[in-house]
Structure 1
Amino acid sequence: MAGNCLQSTGEAKKGEAKAKIARDLSVGESTIRGWVKSEEKLRQFVFEVDEEAGLNRKRAKLSNNEDIDKAVHVWFLQERSRGTPLSGPIIREKARILAKQLRGDHFEFEASAGWFWRWQRRHAISEVAIQGEARSADAEAARTFPAKLKDIIDAEGYSDEQVYNVDEAGLFWKLLPSKSQASSNDPQTVGYKQNKQRITVMLTANKSGNHKLRPLIIGRSLKPRCFHHVNMDNLPVVYMASGNAWMTQFLFEEWFFNNFVPSVRCHLTSRGLEPKALLLLDQCPAHPREDRLRTRDGKIRALYLPANTTSLLQPMDQGIIKTFKANYRRELMMHLLLDPDYSSLVTSLQKYTIKDMCYIAGKSWRQVKTSSIEGCWMKGLGAAFNVQDDICATPETESVNALINTAAEHGLDSEYSEDVLMEWISTDDNEPTFELLSDEGIISTLKSSENQPAGTDDEHDDTAVDKENVPPPATASEAIAGLEAALSFFEAANSERDIDSLKLLHIKELIACCRNVQKKKQRQTSITKFFQSR
Structure 2
Amino acid sequence: MTGALWTKIIKEFDCAMVKQNRKVLLFADNATCHKLEEGVVLKNVNIQFFPPNTTSIIQPLDQGIIHTFKVYYRQQIVRKQLLALEKGLTLRQFGKSLTVLEVLRMIERAWRSVTPTTIQNCFRKAGFLKTGDDEAPEVEEMVAQPQMPEDEFNNYVNCDEHLDCSGELTIKDILEEVRPQGNGQDKEEEDEEEEEVHQVPPPPPNRKEALTGLTAVQAYLEHMNVDLSNVDALEDLFSKKSGQELCT
TM-score category, normalised to shorter length: 0.7 to 0.9
The answer for the alignment partner of 1:356 in structure 2 is 102
Match of 1:398 among 139, 142, 155: 142
> Would the alpha carbon gap of residues 463 and 497 (structure 1) be closer, same or farther in structure 2, given more than 3 Å must change?
farther
Write out aligned runs for 1:136-215 (5 A).
Answer: none
Quote how far apart the aligned CAs of 1:262 are: 6.9
The answer for the alignment partner of 1:311 in structure 2 is 56
Quote how far apart the aligned CAs of 1:317 are: 0.7
Q: Structure 2 CA distance, aligned partners of 1:464 and 1:280? A: 40
Q: Structure 1 CA distance, aligned partners of 2:15 and 2:218? A: 40
Match of 2:8 among 246, 250, 254: 254
The answer for the alignment partner of 1:429 in structure 2 is 161
Write out aligned runs for 1:351-500 (5 A).
Answer: 351-383=97-129, 385-386=130-131, 388-389=133-134, 391-395=136-140, 397-399=141-143, 402-403=144-145, 406-407=146-147, 413=148, 417-435=149-167, 441=170, 444=171, 464-466=197-199, 469-472=200-203, 478-479=206-207, 481-485=208-212, 488-489=215-216, 493-494=221-222, 498-500=226-228
Quote how far apart the aligned CAs of 1:427 are: 1.7
Q: Specify the code of the residue in structure 1 equivalent to 2:201.
A: V
The answer for the alignment partner of 1:279 in structure 2 is 26
SS at match of 2:48: strand
SS at match of 1:470: coil
Q: Structure 2 CA distance, aligned partners of 1:471 and 1:348? A: 16
The answer for the alignment partner of 2:189 in structure 1 is none
Alignment root-mean-square deviation, CA: 3.6
Where does the alignment leave 5 or more consecutive residues of structure 1 unmatched? Answer: 1-246, 408-412, 449-459, 521-534
SS at match of 2:26: strand
State whether residues 293 and 301 of structure 1, in contact with CA within 8 Å, keep that contact through their aligned partners in structure 2.
no
State whether residues 218 and 231 of structure 2, in contact with CA within 8 Å, keep that contact through their aligned partners in structure 1.
no
Q: Structure 1 CA distance, aligned partners of 2:212 and 2:54? A: 54
State whether residues 222 and 228 of structure 2, in contact with CA within 8 Å, keep that contact through their aligned partners in structure 1.
no
Q: Structure 1 CA distance, aligned partners of 2:8 and 2:80? A: 32
Quote how far apart the aligned CAs of 1:507 are: 4.3
The answer for the alignment partner of 1:323 in structure 2 is 68
Q: Specify the code of the residue in structure 1 equivalent to 2:197.
A: A
Q: Structure 1 CA distance, aligned partners of 2:115 and 2:194? A: 33
Write out aligned runs for 1:340-351 (5 A).
Answer: 341-342=87-88, 345-351=91-97
State whether residues 29 and 49 of structure 2, in contact with CA within 8 Å, keep that contact through their aligned partners in structure 1.
yes
SS at match of 1:338: helix
State whether residues 7 and 36 of structure 2, in contact with CA within 8 Å, keep that contact through their aligned partners in structure 1.
no
Q: Structure 1 CA distance, aligned partners of 2:134 and 2:105? A: 35
SS at match of 2:34: coil
State whether residues 18 and 44 of structure 2, in contact with CA within 8 Å, keep that contact through their aligned partners in structure 1.
no
> Would the alpha carbon gap of residues 509 and 287 (structure 1) be closer, same or farther in structure 2, given more than 3 Å must change?
same
Quote how far apart the aligned CAs of 1:516 are: 2.5
Q: Specify the code of the residue in structure 1 equivalent to 2:9.
A: W
Quote how far apart the aligned CAs of 1:426 are: 1.2
User: Deviations 1:393-421 (Å, cap 9, x if unpaired)?
Assistant: 134x222xx22xx22xxxxx4xxx32222
Q: Specify the code of the residue in structure 2 equivalent to 1:424.
A: Y
Q: Structure 1 CA distance, aligned partners of 2:25 and 2:196? A: 41
SS at match of 2:197: coil
User: Deviations 1:255-313 (Å, cap 9, x if unpaired)?
Assistant: 3334x4577689xx6xxxx534332111111113398372xxx2234322222221111
> Would the alpha carbon gap of residues 369 and 392 (structure 1) be closer, same or farther in structure 2, given more than 3 Å must change?
farther
Quote how far apart the aligned CAs of 1:332 are: 0.3
SS at match of 2:127: helix
User: Deviations 1:136-192 (Å, cap 9, x if unpaired)?
Assistant: xxxxxxxxxxxxxxxxxxxxxxxxxxxxxxxxxxxxxxxxxxxxxxxxxxxxxxxxx
Q: Specify the code of the residue in structure 2 equivalent to 1:420.
A: E
Greater helix proportion? 2
State whether residues 280 and 304 of structure 1, in contact with CA within 8 Å, keep that contact through their aligned partners in structure 2.
yes
> Would the alpha carbon gap of residues 418 and 505 (structure 1) be closer, same or farther in structure 2, given more than 3 Å must change?
closer
TM-score, length basis structure 2 = 0.72
Q: Structure 2 CA distance, aligned partners of 1:517 and 1:390? A: 56
User: Deviations 1:334-369 (Å, cap 9, x if unpaired)?
Assistant: 112222624554553332233322111111111111
Q: Structure 2 CA distance, aligned partners of 1:320 and 1:432? A: 19
State whether residues 64 and 139 of structure 2, in contact with CA within 8 Å, keep that contact through their aligned partners in structure 1.
yes
SS at match of 1:434: coil
Where does the alignment leave 5 or more consecutive residues of structure 2 unmatched? Answer: 176-192
Q: Structure 2 CA distance, aligned partners of 1:263 and 1:500? A: 41
Q: Structure 2 CA distance, aligned partners of 1:293 and 1:380? A: 29
State whether residues 70 and 157 of structure 2, in contact with CA within 8 Å, keep that contact through their aligned partners in structure 1.
yes
Q: Specify the code of the residue in structure 2 equivalent to 1:465.
A: H
